[in-house]
Amino acid sequence: MSYYITAVGLGAAFCTTISFLPQAVKTIQTKDTSGISLLMYSFFTFGTLLWLVYGIMSRDVPVATANAITLVFACIILVYKIRYK
Neighbours of 20 (CB within 10 A): 20
Q: Which of 13, 68, 69, 75 binds its own copies (CB under 8 A)?
A: 13
DSSP symbol at 35: T
Q: How many CA atoms lie within 13 A of 48 on its CB side?
A: 22
The nearest distance, CB 45 to its own copies, in angstroms, is 9
Displacement of CA 79 from its chain's centroid (Å):
14
Q: Please give the DSSP secondary-structure letter assigned to residue 58.
A: T
Check residue 22 for interaction with its own copies (CB under 8 A).
Answer: yes
Residue 44 is a binding residue for its own copies (CB under 8 A) = yes
Residues that bind its own copies (CB under 8 A): 1, 4-5, 8-9, 11-23, 25-27, 30, 32-37, 39-44, 46-48, 50-51, 53-54, 57-58
